[in-house]
Amino acid sequence: TVPHGGSLQLNVVPEFGTVVMMILVVSIMSITVISAKSKISLKL
């Protein structure tokens, strides 16, 4: 029989990778939006 912890790790790792990718994308998008807004406000 396969240990329960091993099957759990196999299920959690891919989800963890997708969560990390989502966090990276959201953080990059927020940084670009904030920098764009700050540049616009500086020009005004």
Question: How many domains would you assign to the chain?
Answer: 1
The length of the chain, given as a count of residues? 44
Determine the pLDDT at residue 4: 55
Span 3-7, average pLDDT: 53
Q: pLDDT at residue 27 above 90? A: yes
The torsion angle over the Cα atoms of residues 11, 20, 18 and 28, rounded to 10 degrees, is 180
What pTM value is reported for the model? 0.52
Residue 16: domain span: 1-44
What is the separation, in whole angstroms, between the first and last Cα of the chain?
Answer: 67
Span 30-40, average pLDDT: 87
DSSP structural state of residue 2: -
Q: pLDDT at residue 7 above 70? A: no
Characterise 3 by phi-psi region: left (phi > 0), alpha (psi -120 to 50), beta (else): beta
